[in-house]
């Protein structure tokens, strides 16, 4: 194969790709900064390559004019670089001056190109592999130097942007640097004949890759739609190269098989026919693919508009039940058959066709049940819809988690505000209660006694509010647990209930004595309230040491607590006792948490009701014992 023909094919491919990319950038990149200027760069590269093709086909004047227009290519790239770097970040004062001079630079560039044309800045020479190739002369050298200076200025702007940007824009600039270095290496061979070097410009054969790398590196992170376009373009480009290679092989072998007529066909014509056939195949690909889908999957009406509508509707749901109902409705309407969608926390619905979406250890997955006997077209629609449903499940799961976190935050904030308000109100209530107590001193004995009982009850409620809403500041001391419990038992009015104590006299506990007494008194009062009206009532205090923990139990043989109440036992303002504030057990839990311990309700210790207090013991206390 003649080397000049290989060069012509490379220039032709570069020119075609450049024109396509310029049109694409003007169409899709209008909202992106600098894309029109980048489209101008691609268009000028197409004209520059077309100039070399014109020279090969004996159109020297047109070819020289197009190649000497070379400065417009780096000029457009400089314009693009300034706009690209300025997006999202202000330019330095020098670059702002350069940006204001862009119209003047365009004018000077066009003037220099016109002078190069007027004073014959280029000529045609014979060099290795070519009967006609471009070479600079006279004012053309100024044209070349100016082109190089513009390129240096553009890359200087990119260097500034790389230092001051981050993220995708910085990555794009890095890709431009890599592509720029590759382009410089390829373009170096262009001036070999002008320097008197008779080397064949092999690097220029790879120019199509330079354009693809440069433009793809720029728009890869900025115009997402270009990624799919570049993927298809690269696929068809590779297919074209394969076809060209196959045609060259077939052309060389036709003569050996006696096909002299075919072997006499010029290679260029075979390649053109092959390229035309490939382009026709690309144009027919979509309709043929659509026809194949209809033959294989009859009845399928899936399209991008329908999928987008499904996706938007599914993502607007706010609960699992709503998502399941909407999913069932959409797919049933599409297939004109009843389809049931089963999601977490939704009730099962009987239907022949079912889609089950579940979250497993490895993430979300779906399962189609009852779809084995449907047509392939229906099965395909079910698979596609299930994939969309999975995506909506992931989004809904994240949305519900965020909503739950926000609800907890608001609840916590509300509790803090309520605690502050409760503390303030409790303090304010003590003043009118004191006035009532003093006023009751002059009343009859029965009335005074009744008022004092109610005042004690109110005072107890206020104390509970202050204990729950205020800040706990512990004064820790080490005391014998048995002696502490004995003193509490002796002070209590048991009203006929038997109180038993099973605690080792040597057992010590480190705690705030006042707060610990408050915990035990609250538990004893609760137990006494439910036991005192039954015969044989027993309340038992029991303690033991287990490893590095001290366990204190408060048992009673009163009525067992209903199972539906277990989850709310320690919540504030929840009380099943007449006259209770609903804060007793909540205060117990708060005090235990302040001690670094915990309180639990137990039903597996042989008593109808047991409360377990767990205190952590440090190693020093254990060693002393």
Cβ atoms 56, 8 nearer than 8 A? yes
Task: State residue 24's pLDDT score.
Answer: 77
CA angle 283, 289, 293 (to 5 degrees): 160
Query: pLDDT tens digits for 571-619?
Result: 776 655 555 556 778 888 888 988 999 999 998 999 999 999 999 886 3
In a domain, 29, yes or no: yes
Distance (Å, whole) CA 122 – CA 140 = 6
Helix (H, G, I), strand (E, B) or coil at 234: helix
pLDDT level of residue 371 (50, 70, 90 thresholds): confident
Which of 58-67, 193-202, 397-406 has the largest mean confidence? 58-67
CA angle 338, 341, 342 (to 5 degrees): 140
In a domain, 537, yes or no: yes
Residues 166 and 76 occupy one common structural domain: yes
Query: pLDDT tens digits for 454-496?
Result: 777 677 667 666 666 666 678 899 999 999 999 988 888 888 8
What is the side-by-side strand order in the sheet with 363-369?
Answer: 339-342, 353-360, 363-369
Distance (Å, whole) CA 384 – CA 398 = 22
Q: State the DSSP code for 558.
A: S
In a domain, 442, yes or no: no
Residues 356 and 260 occupy one common structural domain: no
Residues 279 and 353 occupy one common structural domain: no
Query: Is the pLDDT at 286 greater than 80, yes or no?
Result: no
Residue with tokens 């007494």: 517
Residues 274 and 205 occupy one common structural domain: no
Distance (Å, whole) CA 30 – CA 36 = 7
Residues 210 and 233 occupy one common structural domain: no
Query: Is the pLDDT at 28 greater than 70, yes or no?
Result: no
Residues 258 and 165 occupy one common structural domain: no
DSSP assignments along 345-383, one per residue: T------SEEEEEEEETTEEEEEEES-TTS-HHHHHHHH
Task: State residue 590's pLDDT score.
Answer: 86
Distance (Å, whole) CA 369 – CA 339 = 10
Distance (Å, whole) CA 455 – CA 436 = 8
Residues 33 and 176 occupy one common structural domain: yes
CATH code for the domain in which residue 205 is found: 1.20.1070
> Which pair of structure tokens corresponds to residue 117?
């044309």
How many domains are there within the chain? 4
**Residues 6 or more apart whose Cβ sits within 8 Å of residue 17:** 208, 211, 212, 233, 237
Write the secondary structure of 563-590 as one string of H (helix), E (strand) and C (coil). HHHHHHCCCCCCCCCCCCCCCHHHHHHH
pLDDT level of residue 622 (50, 70, 90 thresholds): very low
Q: If you average pLDDT over every residue of the chain, what do you get? A: 82
Task: State residue 149's pLDDT score.
Answer: 93
Distance (Å, whole) CA 335 – CA 325 = 16
CATH code for the domain in which residue 503 is found: 3.30.565.10
In a domain, 437, yes or no: no
Q: At which of 385, 408, 431 does a domain end?
A: 408
**Residues 6 or more apart whose Cβ sits within 8 Å of residue 529:** 577, 578, 580
Q: At which of 208, 223, 238 does a domain end?
A: 223
Element (H, E) at 549: strand 549-556
Distance (Å, whole) CA 617 – CA 328 = 58
Task: State residue 259's pLDDT score.
Answer: 65
In a domain, 517, yes or no: yes
Task: State residue 13's pLDDT score.
Answer: 87
More confident residue, 336 or 252: 336
Residues 201 and 275 occupy one common structural domain: no
Cβ atoms 455, 436 nearer than 8 A? yes
Cβ atoms 609, 602 nearer than 8 A? no
Residues 122 and 12 occupy one common structural domain: yes
Residues 16 and 163 occupy one common structural domain: yes
Number of other CB atoms surrounding residue 463 within 10 Å:
15
Average pLDDT over residues 386-405: 90
Write the secondary structure of 602-620 as one string of H (helix), E (strand) and C (coil). ECCCCCCEEEEEEEECCHH
In a domain, 462, yes or no: no
From 351, 422, 405, select the one nearest 587 (Cα to Cα).
422
From 462, 282, 454, 314, select the one nearest 385 (Cα to Cα).
314
Query: pLDDT tens digits for 138-196?
Result: 999 999 999 999 989 998 988 888 888 887 778 878 888 788 778 878 877 888 888 88
Phi, psi at residue 69, to the nearest 5°? -80, 10
Residues 90 and 106 occupy one common structural domain: yes
Average pLDDT over residues 517-540: 88
Distance (Å, whole) CA 203 – CA 172 = 25
CA angle 25, 30, 32 (to 5 degrees): 95
Cβ atoms 531, 499 nearer than 8 A? no
In a domain, 572, yes or no: yes
Task: State residue 624's pLDDT score.
Answer: 37
Distance (Å, whole) CA 553 – CA 151 = 84
Cα separations (Å) of 300 from 259, 388, 424?
A: 48, 17, 69
Pairing of strands 339-342, 353-360: parallel
Expressed as residue numbers, the domain containing 292 is 227-296
User: Which range is least confidently modeled, 361-365, 504-508, 598-602?
Assistant: 361-365
In a domain, 444, yes or no: no
Q: At which of 223, 254, 287 does a domain end?
A: 223
Residues 166 and 182 occupy one common structural domain: yes
């Amino acid at each position: 194969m003649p080397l000049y023909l290989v060069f012509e094919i490379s220039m032709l491919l570069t020119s075609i790709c450049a024109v396509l990319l310029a049109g694409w950038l003007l169409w899709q990149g209008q909202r992106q900064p600098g894309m029109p200027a980048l489209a101008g760069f691609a268009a000028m590269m197409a004209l520059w390559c077309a100039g070399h093709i014109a020279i090969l086909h004996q159109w020297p004047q047109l070819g020289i004019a197009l190649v000497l227009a070379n400065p417009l290519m780096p000029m457009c790239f400089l314009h693009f670089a300034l706009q690209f770097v300025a997006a999202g970040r202000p330019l330095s004062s020098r670059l702002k001056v350069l940006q204001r001079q862009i119209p003047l630079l365009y004018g000077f560039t066009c003037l220099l190109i016109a002078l190069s044309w007027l004073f014959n800045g280029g000529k045609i020479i014979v060099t290795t592999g070519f009967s006609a190739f471009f070479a600079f002369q006279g004012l053309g050298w100024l044209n070349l130097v100016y082109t190089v200076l513009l390129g240096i200025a553009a890359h200087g702007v990119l260097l500034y942007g790389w230092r001051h940007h981050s993220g995708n824009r910085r990555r794009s600039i890095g890709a431009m640097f890599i592509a720029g270095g590759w382009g410089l290496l390829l373009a170096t061979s262009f001036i070999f004949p002008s320097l008197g070097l008779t080397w064949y410009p092999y690097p220029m054969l790879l120019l199509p890759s330079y354009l693809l790398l440069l433009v793809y590196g720029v728009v890869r992170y900025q115009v997402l739609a270009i990624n799919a376009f570049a993927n298809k373009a690269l696929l068809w480009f590779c297919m074209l190269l394969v076809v060209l290679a196959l045609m060259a092989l077939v052309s060389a072998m036709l003569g050996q098989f006696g096909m002299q007529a075919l072997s006499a066909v010029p290679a260029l014509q075979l390649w053109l026919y092959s390229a035309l056939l490939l382009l026709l195949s690309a144009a027919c690909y979509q309709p043929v693919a659509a026809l194949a889908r209809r033959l294989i999957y009859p009845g399928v009406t899936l399209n991008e508009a329908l999928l987008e509508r499904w996706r938007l509707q599914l993502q607007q749901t706010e609960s699992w039940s709503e998502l399941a109902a909407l999913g069932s409705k959409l797919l049933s309407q599409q297939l004109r058959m009843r389809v049931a969608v089963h999601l977490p926390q939704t009730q099962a619905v009987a239907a022949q066709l079912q889609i089950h979406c579940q979250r497993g250890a490895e993430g979300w997955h779906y399962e189609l049940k009852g779809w084995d006997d449907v047509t392939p077209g229906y099965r395909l629609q079910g698979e596609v819809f299930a994939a969309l449903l999975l995506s909506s499940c992931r989004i809904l799961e994240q949305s519900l988690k965020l909503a739950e976190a926000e609800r907890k935050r608001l609840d916590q904030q509300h509790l803090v505000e309520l605690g502050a308000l409760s503390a303030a109100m409790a303090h304010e209530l003590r003043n009118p209660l004191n006035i009532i107590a003093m006023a009751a001193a002059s009343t009859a004995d029965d009335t005074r006694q009744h008022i004092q009982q109610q005042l004690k009850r109110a005072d107890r409620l206020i104390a509970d509010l202050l204990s729950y809403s205020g800040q706990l500041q512990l004064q820790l001391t080490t005391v014998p647990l048995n002696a502490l419990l004995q003193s509490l038992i002796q002070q209590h009015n048991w009203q006929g209930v038997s109180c038993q104590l099973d605690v080792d006299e040597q057992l010590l506990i480190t705690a705030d004595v006042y707060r610990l007494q408050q915990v035990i008194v609250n538990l004893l009062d609760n137990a006494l309230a439910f036991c005192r009206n039954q015969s044989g009532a027993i309340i038992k205090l029991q303690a033991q040491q287990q490893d590095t923990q001290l366990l204190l139990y408060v048992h009673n043989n009163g009525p067992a607590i209903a199972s539906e109440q277990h989850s709310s036992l320690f919540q504030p303002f929840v009380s099943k006792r007449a006259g209770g504030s609903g804060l007793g057990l909540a205060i117990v839990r708060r005090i235990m948490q302040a001690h670094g311990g915990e309180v639990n309700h137990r039903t597996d210790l042989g008593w109808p009701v047991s409360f377990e207090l767990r205190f952590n013991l440090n190693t020093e206390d254990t060693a002393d014992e």
